[in-house]
Structure 1
């Protein structure tokens, strides 16, 4: 399986295949609107605006697996991102990123790029950069600013 075989669902319920982004680099993050790191939504939006015309796709995947920091509905999560942080990149359905029920996307990302906790996501705002060929080229810790990924992003553009 490669990343382009994976189906995802936006917060509005619309399903699509990541094949839609074949040939484009992707910055994928698990997110939570009540997380202490939620200021990173602003930074992800900055990267989205700075690099979208060069092909970068930023994708947010809310998860409620860490301290109940995304307790509402898919629509609540998306609305919080839009209203509180001005997010215009796609926010998806609330998913699990760890455990038996982990979404196939995050199973794939973890297999391709193990972090300090091996095959587990440590916390919200773990970020993955995927190149134009669908390869995971970097995994960035939750506490690291997305803006520190600029050099890596520019290398895959």
Structure 2
């Protein structure tokens, strides 16, 4: 795989979505959860999306239940939660695994391209973020503790 555009993912209504659809956009890819202490980051992600979408930013949220079982709902429940609590308008995808033998191939690629602390590939928790440039290359990985608003300057550099 040469870049992010080589992957196809499934959105929250079960449709296959080639990431080629996002070509020439700056992407922020995030593993999310509805019952996590970091769940309020959905609001920050929506704010970033609203601020930069006209300039070419897309936010892609991938719910994951691998961390403390904090995303137990099905696709419809997750979407309902996001709409009710955060009114998100960015793209929401099917629940996936981000670590282990059942990890989604997209996350295998992301974690290989941008390793964490001490060179670790493993995602440590919900709301780990990956910033992708317009050419489909992974530019940076952000830890859970990095609030979305702290990523603005990096996004602006790529837009």
Larger mean Cα displacement after TM superposition, 70-79 or 25-34: 70-79
Distance 2:83 2:15 in 1: 18
Indicate conservation of the 8 Å contact 1:78/1:92, yes or no. no
Q: Write out the 4+ residue segments of structure 1 that deviate beyond 6 Å after TM superposition.
A: none
Distance 1:122 1:152 in 2: 22
TM-score, structure 1 length as denominator? 0.98
- CA shift for structure 1 position 72: 1.1
Task: Please give the secondary structure, in 2, of the residue aligned with 1:128.
Answer: strand
Distance 1:77 1:65 in 2: 15
Task: Please give the secondary structure, in 2, of the residue aligned with 1:30.
Answer: strand
- CA shift for structure 1 position 95: 0.2
Distance 1:64 1:112 in 2: 23
Distance 1:82 1:106 in 2: 25
Partner in structure 2 of residue 50 of structure 1: 51
Partner in structure 1 of residue 134 of structure 2: 132
- CA shift for structure 1 position 75: 1.5
Partner in structure 2 of residue 154 of structure 1: 156
Distance 1:54 1:32 in 2: 27
Distance 2:73 2:97 in 1: 14
Q: Which runs of 5+ in 2 are unaligned?
A: none
Residues 103-133 of structure 1 show CA distances to partners (whole Å, capped at 9, x for unaligned) of 0111110000000160100000000000001
2:42 is the alignment partner of 1:41: yes
Q: Which runs of 5+ in 1 are unaligned?
A: none
Task: Please give the secondary structure, in 2, of the residue aligned with 1:48.
Answer: helix
Distance 1:102 1:21 in 2: 22
Q: In the TM superposition, what are the counterparts of 1:50-89 in structure 2 within 5 Å?
A: 50-89=51-90
Partner in structure 2 of residue 7 of structure 1: 8
TM-score, structure 2 length as denominator? 0.97
Q: How many residues align?
A: 157
2:143 is the alignment partner of 1:141: yes
The alignment's C-alpha RMSD in Å is: 0.8
- CA shift for structure 1 position 14: 1.2
Partner in structure 1 of residue 121 of structure 2: 119
